[in-house]
Each structure stands twice: as structure tokens, then as C-alpha cells.
Structure 1
Amino acid sequence: MRVPSRSPGQRPGPSIPTSAPTRRAPAGPSRRLASVEPDLDAYRAAVADLLVEVGALASAASAAARQVLVDQRLREPAIAAVLDATPQGLVGARETLLLEMARYQPDERRPVSDLTALVRIYLLSRIDVMWWRDAPAYRTDEQVGGSADLVDLEWLRRRDLLRFRYQEQPTTLLGRGARALRRRVRPSVAPHTSGLLFRRARREMVALLNDVGREFTAHAPPGAPPLWVTSLVRSAEHQHRLRQLGYAAWLPSGHCLGWAADVEMAWFDRFGARDTLAELLLARQRAGEVNVVDEGQAWHLCLAPESRGRLRRVYEAEMAV
């Protein structure tokens, strides 16, 4: 069974070639040597094992045993090495997760479908935070709108320079009503997603998503729509709003640093293309280009720092900058 970060709940997919680069050691004196970097394969395997144990203790009566289990497992070397390299450190990350688990209330309407999903998303997203621990976050919506490091996706789309699709969040009640009607009448036109609040992205992320989009189009079954992006850069204040709505939106986050994106997965089931997309994303994770987290309807991608320079050059070449 092929799963992002070896977590349970995913489906096997066909083996397809990938254009992702092979893993390279990060360059520069400010980066830690590859020999002392945490072992991400071991981390993902340890998280996968923990998820199985958490699932076996999912009942409310097992809450105390579940807390003890997680507290013990997070101290194991394979997991502790990654958590200790995040800004919160091992203690802060462990306390955050235990508190989130204690507060969790099952609700099928919530984006985080169950407790196992909460643990999976939190722990695997810590890889993003470890990678970009020294990067500044976009704190406000205004900072996102005014950043020179971000480009306007609509400007690129109108010039046919994007190989993926997205939609913006409607800003009026009429707009939200029209979108809801379209979902009911024509469900194959677009996935059930609220859309982007900010139609902006880092140049490197545009290059990554364009590359994934081209590869997906080349391997997807006939009639499948292009890659669909459901989330990109966010501000910390928007992250707080999402958290209030029940989303797995923690701080720090790769989205608030501009280095993460979410891509639709569940919608591609109707076109027989979900497994194809899953396999090519996992191939890029194996190559060390991205971190992949199964969030259910969408999968989360975070760019690895060592891929930043290459993708910036790709963007500049594609856009003739």
C-alpha cells in the first residue's frame, strides 16, 4: 500500500515515472550537514506505527491510555529528532499535540474527520516547520497582499502560464449562493472547496505546481481535468480563522511561510485519476523534493529548501524573466 509518509488510509496507485530530481545534500554553511539531519524515512515510519496504535485506542474510554501512549512515543529517537528541530522543540510540540487531542470532539462535519487524522496531520506537518524554521511568516492579510516575494496567479493565468487550476473564494452572499448551486448542478466542473483567499504564490511554488500539473496531465486517464490547487499562501490571522472553523490549522505552518500548497484529491476519484496523482506526489516525496501529508479530501505539499534554487531557475526560464 502506497501512502504519503507511510500513513494508513491511502490507496495503491500505478507506478509511473517522475520528473522529480534525486535527493541532494543542502549546500551552504548555514544548513546542517546531511549526515546529522533527522532521518525522515524513519520519522514517517514511526508516525505510521503510532497512528495504528492511536486508532486502536480511539474510544472515549481509552483517552487516558491514548495520551500516555502518545507521550511515550513522541520521546522515541526517530520522532524526537524531528520535533526537537522545530521552533517549538520536542517539549512544545508534544504539549501542543497532547492538548489538541484532549480538546478534540468527534464531528463528521469537521474537516479533521477523526483523532487519527489529527495526529497524522500534526506530526507530518512538523517536517515543513523543521525545514523552514528560520523563515519569517506572513502575519497579516496585508503582508500577503503587499509582499514582493509573491506573484499574482490571475496575471499568470490570463497569459496561459499556469498548468493547474484554482478558484477564488466568493466575497459576497450572492457569489456563495451561485457557487453552491453550480456544485449541485454540475459537480464535475470543480471540486467542493471554498477556494483561495489570496490568489498569490511564491515563484518557486508556481514552478513546482506547474511541473506537477504537466506530469499529471501526461499520465492521467483521458478526460481527467488538470491539477486543482485548493490552498496556497495564508496569513497567520487567516490561519486563526480556519482553526476556528475546525480545520487542522496550526502555527507555525508552511502555508504562512509561503512554501506549502494543498491539492485536491477526492474529486479526482470520479475521473479515475486519484491514484495517478497520488503516485506522482509520493514519487516526489521519495526524491526529497516535497513533504506530502494526507489531509483527506486534499493532500498537503511543502517544498523542501534544497529544491528552492532549482525551481526558482525553472520559473525564471518559463516566464522569460
Structure 2
Amino acid sequence: PDLARYRDAVADLLIEIAGHNGPEDLPKAEKVLTERLADAEFAPVLAASPEGRPAAVDRLLREVRHYQPQARNCAADLAAHIRIHLFALIDVMWWGSARAFVTDPDLLHAAELVDLEPLRRRGELHFRYRRQARALPLRAVRAADRRLRPERTPRTAGLRFARARRESVTLLNQLAADFAAAAPGTPPLWVTSLARSIEQQRRLRALGYTATLPSAHCAGYAMDIEMSWFRRFGATGVLEGLLLERQRAGDVNAIDEGQTWHLCLSPAAMARDAQAATTGG
């Protein structure tokens, strides 16, 4: 599918929906969306969905009907909610048939994922992340630190599972190196989310987060990168440019989710990495 054409069609659709952004505008927005999804520009991505075009459209319309503006929803308004779900269809097209990690133990024992902690201790990671605070004392310490130094680190819960595909680690290290070179003196790239189980994704949805299902996170092909925090360093434009450059090269699908940007590795990037590993390049 011509993804540039698809993304342009999404942008045009959002302009049409922009005047119907409130919860009371849902019927009008749904009507516009239903009509526009019949356009030829949307057909290849919808048809390539493993569930089939009708089911993909039905799922998208359900997500629109259930939209609720709230603090945990990364979509600032209805148009942003629709944009995120339309671009997430690219992830589904690529990885909707891939084996997902259904439960947390499935993810923890997945041989295709690597544990980031040993890599971090050996200095092999050029990006930053932090683990989710599960124990009450650590949560209290972090809360106190946020009050005293609110801008020291991004406002993120941290990784529940510090596990990722090797290809994701490679991409993040490359992005971190590019970011360091393009924005000297800025803190390193910060990763807020990597592989998730379907179990975790459902927990996030229940809490009101924009956690799509199916999700490339649940197959280990997606990651989220902090964006808003870098505004205080004047580096968001640089980082956005690097991510969009990777998208234009066909390496990733990039989705602006407000505080963070979502990245999904493309099958072409995965194949290229596998070829490089085979040849030693």
C-alpha cells in the first residue's frame, strides 16, 4: 500500500472532522468517517488488515463511539483520537497476524525478547528509561522527588517490563545516537513503553488510556518515546524530525500521541536487520 497517500488522506479527513470535535459531535464525526473510509485512498490499508476490511471499519467506529475526553487519554480531542486509531491501522496491517503475548508470563518468558537491565548495566544502551515503581516505598520516594524537582525527568510511570526485541533496541540506540548528535547538550532519548501483554493493554484501557487492541506493543514491535519533556530543552523539533525521517525511509510507523510518540517497526526494517545479522553487516 501507498502509505504516504494513506497518511495524506487521513490528514484531509481530519480537516473535515475538525469542526466536530466535542462528544456531542460524535454522530456527525462518525458519519463523515464512514463516508470517507469508502474512498480509494483508505482501501489498501483497510483491506490488508488481517481481520478484513468490514471488521477493521467496525472496530474503528466502535473506538470513535467510545471516545471520552479525560486526563489519561493521550488524545486531546476527538480528531486526535481518530487520527491515532487510523494511523494504528498501519501497525495492524503489518503485525496483526503476529503472535501476541497474551499474559504477563507469556511476555516475561518470550525467547524473542531481551532483558534490558543487563544491557544497561554493561553500558550498551544509549537511551534512558526507568522501571515502574511497584513497591509503596519507592512510589512514595518518586512522588516526593516529583514535587521537589518536577522537571528533572519525564512524568511517566515507567516500564512494567524492561524487555524488547533486539531490533527495537538497535533502532532506539541508533535514534539516541542521532538525537545526541543533532541536539548536543540535551538529555538522552527517553523510552516510556516497550513490549506489553494483551493483559496489560486491557488494564491500561480500563484505566482510560488510549491503548489500542490489537496492538503492535503486544507483539513486541512497538515502542513509545517521550516528546513533551524535551520541549524545555528546545529539542522537540529535532526529535520529531528524526522520527519522521525514519518514517519516510519506511523503517517505522510514527504516531504523535501528545506527550509521547509511538513507533512501530516495519516488516522491511525487520527484514533488513535480519539480513544484516546473517551477513555480519
Question: Could you say which TM-score interval applies, normalised by the shorter chain?
Answer: over 0.9
Q: Does 1:294 align with 2:256?
A: yes
Q: Does 1:186 align with 2:149?
A: yes
Q: TM-score when scaled to structure 2?
A: 0.94
Instruction: Give the CA RMSD over aligned residues.
Output: 1.9
> SS state of the match for residue 124, structure 2?
coil
Relative distance call for 1:108 and 1:141 in structure 2 (3 A) is closer
CA distance in 2, matches of 1:314, 1:270: 37
Shifted more, 79-88 versus 146-155: the winner is: 79-88
Q: What residue number does 1:256 align with?
A: 218
Tell me how far 1:139 sits from its aligned partner.
0.6
Q: What residue number does 2:27 align with?
A: 64
Q: 1:223-258 CA deviation, whole Å, 9 max, x = no partner?
A: 310000000000000000010111111221110010
The answer to which structure, 1 or 2, has the higher relative contact order (CA under 8 A, 6+ apart) is: 1
CA distance in 1, matches of 2:27, 2:207: 27
CA distance in 2, matches of 1:315, 1:164: 22
User: Given the alignment, which residue of 248, 257, 269 partners 2:231?
Assistant: 269
Tell me how far 1:106 sits from its aligned partner.
2.4
CA distance in 1, matches of 2:130, 2:107: 18
Tell me, yes or no, if the aligned pair for 2:6 and 2:42 is still in contact at 8 Å.
yes
Q: What residue number does 2:44 align with?
A: 81
Q: Does 1:54 align with 2:54?
A: no
Q: What residue number does 2:92 align with?
A: 129
Q: What residue number does 1:30 align with?
A: none
> SS state of the match for residue 292, structure 1?
strand
CA distance in 1, matches of 2:208, 2:277: 35
Relative distance call for 1:64 and 1:133 in structure 2 (3 A) is closer
Tell me how far 1:101 sits from its aligned partner.
1.7
User: Given the alignment, which residue of 151, 172, 176 partners 1:213?
Assistant: 176
Q: Does 1:229 align with 2:191?
A: yes
Tell me, yes or no, if the aligned pair for 1:152 and 1:201 is still in contact at 8 Å.
yes
Tell me how far 1:109 sits from its aligned partner.
5.0
Letter in 2 for 1:231: S
Relative distance call for 1:316 and 1:211 in structure 2 (3 A) is farther
CA distance in 2, matches of 1:97, 1:134: 18
Q: What residue number does 1:16 align with?
A: none
Relative distance call for 1:193 and 1:313 in structure 2 (3 A) is farther
CA distance in 1, matches of 2:28, 2:118: 53
User: How many residue pairs end up in the alignment?
Assistant: 281
Shifted more, 187-196 versus 152-161: the winner is: 187-196
Q: What residue number does 1:195 align with?
A: 158
Q: 1:18-58 CA deviation, whole Å, 9 max, x = no partner?
A: xxxxxxxxxxxxxxxxxxxx110110001111111112112
Shifted more, 273-282 versus 88-97: the winner is: 88-97
Q: What residue number does 2:269 align with?
A: 307
Tell me how far 1:203 sits from its aligned partner.
0.5
Q: TM-score when scaled to structure 1?
A: 0.83
Tell me, yes or no, if the aligned pair for 1:121 and 1:295 is still in contact at 8 Å.
yes
CA distance in 2, matches of 1:201, 1:317: 23
Tell me, yes or no, if the aligned pair for 2:99 and 2:219 is still in contact at 8 Å.
yes
Q: What residue number does 1:285 align with?
A: 247
Relative distance call for 1:60 and 1:162 in structure 2 (3 A) is closer
Tell me how far 1:108 sits from its aligned partner.
4.2
Tell me how far 1:97 sits from its aligned partner.
1.9
Relative distance call for 1:315 and 1:210 in structure 2 (3 A) is farther
Structure 2, unaligned runs of 5 or more? none
Q: What residue number does 1:156 align with?
A: 119
Structure 1, unaligned runs of 5 or more? 1-37
Tell me, yes or no, if the aligned pair for 2:73 and 2:210 is still in contact at 8 Å.
no
Superposed structure 1 runs of 4+ greater than 4 Å apart: 312-318
